[in-house]
Amino acid sequence: MKYKNPIYKKKRGTFPLEVSCGHCRTPLLIYAKGSNGKLIKLQYPRIIASQMDLENYEGHLMCTNCGRKLATRGVYGENVTHWIVRGKVYTRKLQGY
């Protein structure tokens, strides 16, 4: 991953999850997931690293390779959040990250 998130803070009980495009399987970011279950939203402070510079990124989450829309931008509580479009992303657990 090119960019580290400057506001990422490690939380207890989380594990790293690689999020990729569901169509072309290009790895986009590494996310600290907190519980078992499906990935519904990506909260900005939990993103560990990404392919795109998230500090200057203001739009929806798009694939860097094929250009498909993967998540819409919104606000959840006080955090900037990307709400996943169902079926558009592929996730896998990372061991030893």
pLDDT digits (tens, 9 = 90+) for 32-66: 999 888 999 999 889 999 988 877 778 888 898 99
pTM assigned to the model: 0.87
pLDDT of residue 79: 86
Surface-to-core class of residue 62, CB atoms within 10 Å of its CB (0-12 exposed, 13-18 middle, 19+ buried): middle
Report the C-alpha gap between 58 and 27 in whole angstroms: 20
Local structure of 12: helix, strand or coil:
coil
pLDDT of residue 7: 80
pLDDT of residue 25: 94
